[in-house]
Amino acid sequence: MNSKAWMSAAALGAGLVLFVAVNIVAGQAMRSARVDLTEGKLYTLSPGSRQIAAKLQEDITLTLYVSQKQLSEAPVIQGYVRRVREMLDELVRASGGKLSLRVVDPEPYSEAEDRAVQAGLAALPAGSGGLGGLAGDRLYFGLVGTNSVDQTEVIKFFDPSKESFLEYDLTRLVYLLSSPKKSSIGIMSWLPIEGQEGNPFMGGRGTPAWQISRKLKEFFDVKTVETTAAAIPPEIKVLLIVHPKNPSEQTLYAIDQFVLKGGRAIVFVDPNCEADVPPGMNPMQAMSMPKASELPKLLDAWGVAYSKDKVVLDKASAVSVRVGSENRPETVPYVAWLMLGGDSRSAGDPITGQLERMFVGTAGSLARKDGATTEFQPLLTTSATAMLADASVVSFIPEPKKLLAEYAPGTAKLTLAARVTGKVQSAFADGAPKPAEGQVGAPEPAPHVAESAGPIDVVVIADADLLADRFWVNEARLGNILLGYDEFSDNGSLVVNAADNLSGSSELASLRARGKFSRPFTKVEELQRSAQQAYQAKEQELQRKLRETEQKINDMQRQRPDAADGRVYLTPEQQTEIDKFRAELIATRKELRDVQFQLTKDTEQMGTTLKAINIGLMPVLVGAGAIGLAAYRSSRRRSDRMATKG
């Protein structure tokens, strides 16, 4: 081998060594480098999550329990594991070493499984969701977080259907571990939400606390704020203002200053609060009392339009009620009571994103005020055919049948609840009002704040009845023993979610739902919807023909006397009609099969085309590009040589 060959071999060996060395160094030095090319930046943390992780003051340990063996039987969850792991890794990197992640495989009957069970993790049993395996095999896929004071927060199971809230759930868990003390929220209510004691000398009986109060106390440090308060206690993060009826100027000013200084508020106003029945008063007497509430000046300053004189009616979401006498009862839709489904809530907000059913009664409508400087984000809406009516139609004894008969469908959705954010001016341009006699609050007024330092964050709900027990819980009893309460609507979760979201940091409150890493085949779904519509149309036509044929046969039977033996015989005309219908039935069923066959054919053809593009066309295009680039470079080199020789 000559010297030139030795030098070439040495250069090749040196190149290989350098290539390996560069890859090793790059792998270590650029381990944290990421390029997120997904639509919606699914693998990139939101600024709020990044800030919460970066501000951690103590070490937090996250333990991800994943049953590796059982994943092979659950491919959907197997793909989601990678998504969860990527998001956790991003949080760990953003924490600067304060977060640590452990991944544990809780094998059956192991100590790791015992710890998972003790922590409260849920598991998917063998045979569920396509998960096979031996009896007793269980798929764990949950997260346990602990801090330095042994506080524990748990995500029992990562449900792929709730993927859009993955970042929010993970960041919330980290935030709660960094703030172990329960958040303080205040309730300023003109309704007896927290119950009332009876007067034993007058023979009066007390009223128990509403279930919404008990539910809130499970999650928060709840404090009562008097409806005559002149200042809001500084430790309160979120103030629930429920059904404000004729609040004083001083109380309005206290709320105004609380919000401008960064406090969060959840406001429940109502044009006709059915739950507004003073304890001990005859319900018939209470009907004649004013039941509307509003928050004058403040809603206007926050850019919210609301009228206490209008109620929302919606036939599409109406709850059926029984009317009439006991002997002749009727069931009719009561268009003033609405059971809102999942399509009525904002799917992108953590407050409402995971709710399914909300029950509201004689609610009002909210809108963004013209010229408002705030952002108005609807949280709950009606159908597009809802209408507004005078509150007087439901203020005394409502007539469901009359309301239904006079219903005039609208043309646009109405907003029942909204989140309001943005910088605002004080509703009291001239400063604090003069103290009222008997005012409860701080003896010395604090300095006036004329403008919010940052964006306010307020949730306004145009219904207070949704807090009442009868609109969301039923008693569960065993004889005379009260076992507990069953929730038949998500009203309680709506309130807890709002308080939870607003009581967190501004970074946590800023998080919204994200996209999904699994991309749907929209074209295939469109084909399926079209085929389904065609199928249903054919099916309805078949049913119509069946009813018409039965009607014809019945008409023919009525036109002829019965046979002498009491049995009914078909006439030749009837038999011909039946034979004709049978032929039409067979033809229609064939058409239905053709529709389904064409759907399958179109879907398979599209799949074949996609495979051809991914497997065949893309490599061809890449190869053609490489050949073209090589030809271009070769042409350039020839041109350079020709230029040099010339």
- Report pLDDT digits (tens) over 454-469: 999 999 999 999 999 9
User: DSSP 3-state assignment of 483?
Assistant: strand
- Rounded CA-CA distance 165/169 in Å is 6
Question: DSSP characters for 494-544?
Answer: HHHHHHHHHHS-HHHHT------SSPP-HHHHHHHHHHHHHHHHHHHHHHH
- How many C-beta atoms lie closer than 10 Å to residue 192's C-beta? 18
Least confident of 152-166, 192-206, 455-469: 192-206
- Rounded CA-CA distance 106/580 in Å is 66
Q: What is the pLDDT of residue 397?
A: 80
Q: What is the pLDDT of residue 356?
A: 87
Select from 240, 248, 129, 125 the least CA-distant residue to 189.
240
Q: What is the pLDDT of residue 126?
A: 59
Q: Give mean pLDDT, residues 163-184.
A: 85
| pLDDT band, very low/low/confident/very high, at 133 (cuts 50, 70, 90) | very low
* 344 vs 206, higher pLDDT: 344
- Rounded CA-CA distance 230/570 in Å is 87
- Rounded CA-CA distance 258/255 in Å is 5
Task: Describe the crossing of helices 491-503 and 211-219 by its angle, rounded to 10 degrees.
Answer: 30
* 537 vs 529, higher pLDDT: 537
The three-point CA angle 482-499-449 to 5° equals 140
Our separate counts of H helices and E strands in the chain read 17, 21
Report pLDDT digits (tens) over 478-513: 567 676 788 889 999 899 899 989 987 666 666 655
Question: Is 66 in contact with 140 (CB distance < 8 Å)?
Answer: yes
Q: What is the pLDDT of residue 372?
A: 94
| H-state helical runs in 102-142 | 111-119
Q: Which residues of 184-301 form beta strands (DSSP E)? A: 184-189, 221-224, 238-242, 264-268
- How many C-beta atoms lie closer than 10 Å to residue 457's C-beta? 20
User: DSSP 3-state assignment of 481?
Assistant: strand
User: DSSP 3-state assignment of 318?
Assistant: strand
Q: What is the residue extent of each domain of the chain?
A: 47-178, 184-194+208-309+364-384+414-432+448-509, 524-561+568-645
Amino acid at position 357, single letter: R
Question: Is 359 in contact with 489 (CB distance < 8 Å)?
Answer: yes
Q: What is the pLDDT of residue 639?
A: 73
Distances (CA, A) of 16 to 10, 25, 454: 10, 14, 58
Q: What is the pLDDT of residue 442?
A: 47
CATH class, domain 47-178, is alpha beta
- Rounded CA-CA distance 268/244 in Å is 8
Report pLDDT digits (tens) over 615-639: 666 667 766 777 777 777 777 777 7
Among 187-201, 267-281, 332-346, 474-488, the range with the most confident prediction by mean pLDDT is: 332-346
Q: What is the pLDDT of residue 47?
A: 84
H-helix or E-strand spanning residue 471: none
Report pLDDT digits (tens) over 553-606: 666 666 655 544 445 556 677 677 767 766 776 666 666 666 656 656 666 666
Question: Is 212 in contact with 495 (CB distance < 8 Å)?
Answer: yes
Q: Name the strands in the sheet holding 358-361, side by side, starting at the edge strand that comes first in the sequence.
A: 318-324, 329-340, 358-361
CA torsion angle 108 112 115 119 (round to 10): -80
> Which are the contacts of 192, defined by CB distance < 8 A and separation ≥ 6?
207, 210, 279
Question: Is 241 in contact with 461 (CB distance < 8 Å)?
Answer: no
| pLDDT band, very low/low/confident/very high, at 7 (cuts 50, 70, 90) | low
Question: Is 485 in contact with 476 (CB distance < 8 Å)?
Answer: yes
